[in-house]
Amino acid sequence: MPNQDLSSQDLPNIGPIVLLGPPGAGKGTQAKRIVEEFKIPQISTGDLLRDNVQRHTPLGVQAKAVMERGDLVSDDLVCGMVGERLQLDDARRGFILDGFPRTVEQAIWLDGFLQHGIFDNSKPGASKVKGAKAAHWTPIVIRMDVDYNKLKFRLTGRRSCPVCGRIYNVHSQPASVDEVCDVDGAKLVIRDDDREEVIQERLAAYDRLTKPVADYYDRKGRLFVVNGDRPMDKVTAEIFQEIRRHSAPASGH
Protein backbone atom coordinates (compact mmCIF):
# COMPACT_ATOMS: atom_id res chain seq x y z
CA MET A 1 0.00 0.00 0.00
CA PRO A 2 2.53 2.65 -1.03
CA ASN A 3 1.41 6.22 -0.70
CA GLN A 4 2.31 7.54 -4.13
CA ASP A 5 2.39 11.27 -3.47
CA LEU A 6 4.95 10.90 -0.68
CA SER A 7 7.87 9.94 -2.92
CA SER A 8 8.61 13.46 -4.12
CA GLN A 9 12.18 14.02 -5.20
CA ASP A 10 12.37 17.57 -3.82
CA LEU A 11 11.88 16.89 -0.14
CA PRO A 12 14.67 16.32 2.38
CA ASN A 13 15.32 12.99 4.03
CA ILE A 14 13.77 12.60 7.45
CA GLY A 15 14.79 9.09 8.44
CA PRO A 16 12.98 6.37 10.34
CA ILE A 17 10.83 7.45 13.27
CA VAL A 18 9.68 5.04 15.95
CA LEU A 19 6.77 6.27 18.07
CA LEU A 20 6.34 4.58 21.42
CA GLY A 21 3.64 5.34 23.92
CA PRO A 22 0.80 3.73 25.82
CA PRO A 23 -2.74 3.54 24.44
CA GLY A 24 -4.37 6.93 24.89
CA ALA A 25 -1.11 8.92 24.85
CA GLY A 26 -2.10 10.63 21.59
CA LYS A 27 0.29 8.74 19.30
CA GLY A 28 -2.31 8.51 16.53
CA THR A 29 -2.83 12.28 16.48
CA GLN A 30 0.89 13.04 16.55
CA ALA A 31 1.63 10.45 13.84
CA LYS A 32 -0.92 12.09 11.54
CA ARG A 33 0.68 15.49 12.12
CA ILE A 34 4.15 14.10 11.36
CA VAL A 35 2.84 12.57 8.11
CA GLU A 36 1.38 15.91 7.06
CA GLU A 37 4.40 17.99 8.03
CA PHE A 38 7.22 15.79 6.76
CA LYS A 39 5.42 13.92 3.96
CA ILE A 40 6.53 10.48 5.02
CA PRO A 41 4.24 7.44 5.34
CA GLN A 42 2.93 6.01 8.58
CA ILE A 43 3.51 2.27 8.61
CA SER A 44 1.36 0.44 11.11
CA THR A 45 2.13 -3.25 11.60
CA GLY A 46 -1.37 -3.79 13.03
CA ASP A 47 -2.91 -2.35 9.82
CA LEU A 48 -0.58 -4.33 7.56
CA LEU A 49 -1.40 -7.55 9.41
CA ARG A 50 -5.15 -6.89 9.31
CA ASP A 51 -4.86 -6.23 5.56
CA ASN A 52 -3.09 -9.59 5.10
CA VAL A 53 -5.74 -11.37 7.14
CA GLN A 54 -8.48 -9.82 5.03
CA ARG A 55 -6.78 -10.79 1.77
CA HIS A 56 -6.12 -14.35 3.04
CA THR A 57 -2.43 -14.15 2.15
CA PRO A 58 -0.20 -16.94 3.55
CA LEU A 59 1.02 -14.41 6.17
CA GLY A 60 -2.57 -13.45 7.00
CA VAL A 61 -3.58 -17.09 7.43
CA GLN A 62 -0.72 -17.66 9.87
CA ALA A 63 -1.29 -14.41 11.78
CA LYS A 64 -5.07 -14.59 12.12
CA ALA A 65 -5.41 -16.96 15.10
CA VAL A 66 -2.52 -15.30 16.96
CA MET A 67 -4.09 -11.87 16.56
CA GLU A 68 -7.48 -13.13 17.66
CA ARG A 69 -5.91 -14.40 20.87
CA GLY A 70 -4.34 -10.96 21.39
CA ASP A 71 -0.84 -12.46 21.28
CA LEU A 72 2.11 -11.13 19.32
CA VAL A 73 2.69 -12.46 15.82
CA SER A 74 6.13 -14.08 15.54
CA ASP A 75 9.12 -11.81 15.03
CA ASP A 76 10.06 -13.61 11.80
CA LEU A 77 6.70 -13.00 10.18
CA VAL A 78 6.40 -9.38 11.30
CA CYS A 79 9.99 -8.46 10.39
CA GLY A 80 9.63 -10.08 6.96
CA MET A 81 6.48 -8.06 6.35
CA VAL A 82 8.04 -4.79 7.55
CA GLY A 83 11.17 -5.42 5.45
CA GLU A 84 9.07 -5.74 2.30
CA ARG A 85 7.03 -2.67 3.11
CA LEU A 86 10.09 -0.49 3.78
CA GLN A 87 11.50 -1.22 0.35
CA LEU A 88 8.63 0.49 -1.41
CA ASP A 89 9.49 3.83 -2.95
CA ASP A 90 7.41 6.01 -0.66
CA ALA A 91 9.59 5.02 2.34
CA ARG A 92 12.88 6.15 0.80
CA ARG A 93 12.97 9.52 2.61
CA GLY A 94 11.81 8.08 5.90
CA PHE A 95 8.75 6.67 7.60
CA ILE A 96 6.96 6.45 10.94
CA LEU A 97 6.70 3.01 12.43
CA ASP A 98 3.58 2.53 14.45
CA GLY A 99 3.26 -0.64 16.54
CA PHE A 100 6.79 -1.76 15.65
CA PRO A 101 9.22 -2.69 17.16
CA ARG A 102 7.22 -4.42 19.89
CA THR A 103 10.04 -6.69 21.09
CA VAL A 104 13.79 -6.23 21.56
CA GLU A 105 14.36 -8.83 18.81
CA GLN A 106 12.38 -6.64 16.40
CA ALA A 107 14.41 -3.57 17.45
CA ILE A 108 17.66 -5.46 16.79
CA TRP A 109 16.33 -6.66 13.43
CA LEU A 110 15.38 -3.07 12.50
CA ASP A 111 18.88 -1.79 13.31
CA GLY A 112 20.36 -4.51 11.08
CA PHE A 113 17.91 -3.75 8.29
CA LEU A 114 18.64 -0.03 8.40
CA GLN A 115 22.38 -0.74 8.19
CA HIS A 116 21.89 -2.31 4.77
CA GLY A 117 21.45 1.13 3.32
CA ILE A 118 18.37 0.84 1.18
CA PHE A 119 17.67 4.53 1.46
CA ASP A 120 18.36 7.47 -0.73
CA ASN A 121 21.29 9.59 0.48
CA SER A 122 21.32 12.04 -2.35
CA LYS A 123 19.47 14.60 -0.28
CA PRO A 124 20.18 16.58 2.89
CA GLY A 125 19.78 14.63 6.07
CA ALA A 126 21.28 11.39 4.81
CA SER A 127 24.69 10.37 6.06
CA LYS A 128 27.15 11.11 3.33
CA VAL A 129 29.27 8.18 2.34
CA LYS A 130 31.38 9.11 -0.63
CA GLY A 131 30.45 7.10 -3.66
CA ALA A 132 27.68 5.26 -1.90
CA LYS A 133 24.24 5.16 -3.46
CA ALA A 134 22.40 4.63 -0.23
CA ALA A 135 22.73 5.56 3.42
CA HIS A 136 22.12 3.60 6.56
CA TRP A 137 19.99 5.23 9.14
CA THR A 138 19.50 5.33 12.88
CA PRO A 139 15.90 5.55 14.02
CA ILE A 140 14.61 8.58 15.90
CA VAL A 141 12.79 7.00 18.83
CA ILE A 142 10.15 9.14 20.51
CA ARG A 143 8.26 7.96 23.56
CA MET A 144 5.20 9.86 24.68
CA ASP A 145 4.68 9.60 28.42
CA VAL A 146 1.38 10.39 30.10
CA ASP A 147 0.49 9.96 33.75
CA TYR A 148 -1.40 6.72 34.43
CA ASN A 149 -4.52 8.39 35.87
CA LYS A 150 -4.69 10.82 32.95
CA LEU A 151 -4.53 7.92 30.51
CA LYS A 152 -7.32 6.15 32.32
CA PHE A 153 -9.40 9.33 32.24
CA ARG A 154 -8.77 9.83 28.51
CA LEU A 155 -9.46 6.23 27.57
CA THR A 156 -12.69 5.94 29.54
CA GLY A 157 -13.93 9.09 27.77
CA ARG A 158 -13.28 7.71 24.31
CA ARG A 159 -16.32 7.03 22.10
CA SER A 160 -16.40 5.90 18.51
CA CYS A 161 -18.94 5.86 15.73
CA PRO A 162 -19.78 2.27 14.75
CA VAL A 163 -20.65 3.47 11.23
CA CYS A 164 -17.84 5.82 10.11
CA GLY A 165 -15.20 5.05 12.77
CA ARG A 166 -14.78 8.66 13.89
CA ILE A 167 -13.34 9.00 17.40
CA TYR A 168 -14.70 11.41 20.03
CA ASN A 169 -13.88 12.04 23.66
CA VAL A 170 -16.53 13.10 26.15
CA HIS A 171 -13.90 15.11 28.05
CA SER A 172 -11.87 16.73 25.30
CA GLN A 173 -13.60 16.25 21.93
CA PRO A 174 -17.30 15.71 22.52
CA ALA A 175 -19.84 15.27 19.71
CA SER A 176 -22.08 18.31 19.08
CA VAL A 177 -25.09 16.32 20.25
CA ASP A 178 -24.43 14.11 23.26
CA GLU A 179 -23.27 10.60 22.26
CA VAL A 180 -24.38 10.99 18.61
CA CYS A 181 -22.00 11.07 15.63
CA ASP A 182 -21.71 14.51 13.98
CA VAL A 183 -21.18 12.89 10.58
CA ASP A 184 -23.93 10.30 10.29
CA GLY A 185 -26.07 10.57 13.42
CA ALA A 186 -25.24 7.05 14.64
CA LYS A 187 -25.24 6.39 18.39
CA LEU A 188 -21.64 6.43 19.64
CA VAL A 189 -20.24 3.34 21.34
CA ILE A 190 -17.43 2.53 23.78
CA ARG A 191 -14.89 0.19 22.20
CA ASP A 192 -14.71 -3.09 24.10
CA ASP A 193 -11.07 -2.49 24.95
CA ASP A 194 -11.80 1.03 26.29
CA ARG A 195 -13.94 -0.37 29.12
CA GLU A 196 -12.50 0.49 32.49
CA GLU A 197 -11.82 -3.11 33.54
CA VAL A 198 -9.84 -3.78 30.34
CA ILE A 199 -7.89 -0.51 30.41
CA GLN A 200 -5.82 -1.44 33.42
CA GLU A 201 -4.84 -4.68 31.70
CA ARG A 202 -3.93 -2.92 28.44
CA LEU A 203 -1.75 -0.39 30.24
CA ALA A 204 0.01 -3.11 32.21
CA ALA A 205 0.60 -5.12 29.02
CA TYR A 206 2.01 -2.02 27.33
CA ASP A 207 4.45 -1.50 30.19
CA ARG A 208 5.53 -5.12 30.20
CA LEU A 209 6.08 -5.31 26.44
CA THR A 210 7.35 -1.87 25.57
CA LYS A 211 9.65 -1.25 28.48
CA PRO A 212 12.40 -3.58 27.21
CA VAL A 213 12.21 -1.91 23.77
CA ALA A 214 12.44 1.58 25.29
CA ASP A 215 15.32 0.40 27.51
CA TYR A 216 17.11 -1.00 24.44
CA TYR A 217 16.99 2.39 22.73
CA ASP A 218 17.76 4.24 25.94
CA ARG A 219 20.97 2.23 26.43
CA LYS A 220 22.00 3.32 22.95
CA GLY A 221 21.25 6.93 23.85
CA ARG A 222 18.49 7.16 21.26
CA LEU A 223 15.37 7.48 23.37
CA PHE A 224 13.72 10.90 23.34
CA VAL A 225 10.98 11.19 25.94
CA VAL A 226 8.19 13.74 25.45
CA ASN A 227 5.81 14.72 28.19
CA GLY A 228 2.51 13.97 26.45
CA ASP A 229 0.56 15.42 29.34
CA ARG A 230 0.33 18.89 27.81
CA PRO A 231 -1.72 20.64 25.12
CA MET A 232 -1.45 18.72 21.84
CA ASP A 233 0.16 21.58 19.91
CA LYS A 234 2.96 21.90 22.46
CA VAL A 235 3.67 18.18 22.22
CA THR A 236 3.66 18.41 18.41
CA ALA A 237 6.10 21.33 18.44
CA GLU A 238 8.54 19.42 20.63
CA ILE A 239 8.31 16.31 18.47
CA PHE A 240 8.84 18.29 15.25
CA GLN A 241 11.87 20.00 16.79
CA GLU A 242 13.41 16.66 17.70
CA ILE A 243 12.78 15.25 14.22
CA ARG A 244 14.34 18.33 12.59
CA ARG A 245 17.32 18.15 14.93
CA HIS A 246 18.04 14.60 13.74
CA SER A 247 17.27 15.01 10.09
CA ALA A 248 19.01 18.35 9.54
CA PRO A 249 22.14 18.11 7.39
CA ALA A 250 25.38 18.24 9.36
CA SER A 251 26.64 21.18 7.32
CA GLY A 252 24.57 23.30 4.88
CA HIS A 253 23.18 21.93 1.60
Q: Which residues contribute to the site for ligand AMP (CB under 6 A)?
A: 45-46, 49, 66-67, 70-73, 78, 99-100, 102, 106
Query: Which candidate in 85, 102, 123, 154 is catalytic?
Result: 102
Residue (135 or 217) nearer to ligand AMP, CB: 217
CB 105 within 8 A of CB 186: no
Residue (30 or 106) nearer to ligand AMP, CB: 106
Residue (78 or 243) nearer to ligand AMP, CB: 78
Residue (135 or 206) nearer to ligand AMP, CB: 206
Q: Is 112 helix (H, G, I), strand (E, B) or coil?
A: helix
Q: Does residue 191 carry a catalytic annotation?
A: yes
Cβ of residue 97: shortest distance to ligand AMP, in angstroms?
Answer: 9
Query: Which candidate in 27, 85, 123, 143 is catalytic?
Result: 27
Cβ of residue 128: shortest distance to ligand AMP, in angstroms?
Answer: 32
Query: Which candidate in 55, 128, 150, 191 is catalytic?
Result: 191
Nearest residue relative to ligand AMP (C-beta)? 46
- CA 150/CA 109 separation, integer angstroms: 34
Q: Does residue 102 carry a catalytic annotation?
A: yes
Cβ of residue 89: shortest distance to ligand AMP, in angstroms?
Answer: 23
- CA 236/CA 242 separation, integer angstroms: 10
Q: Does residue 208 carry a catalytic annotation?
A: no
Which residue type does 237 have? A
Cβ of residue 103: shortest distance to ligand AMP, in angstroms?
Answer: 7
- CA 83/CA 80 separation, integer angstroms: 5
- CA 191/CA 214 separation, integer angstroms: 28
CB 136 within 8 A of CB 145: no
Burial class of residue 31 (count of CB atoms within 10 Å of its CB; 0-12, 13-18, 19+): buried
- CA 6/CA 93 separation, integer angstroms: 9
- The residues assigned a catalytic role are 27, 102, 158, 191, 202
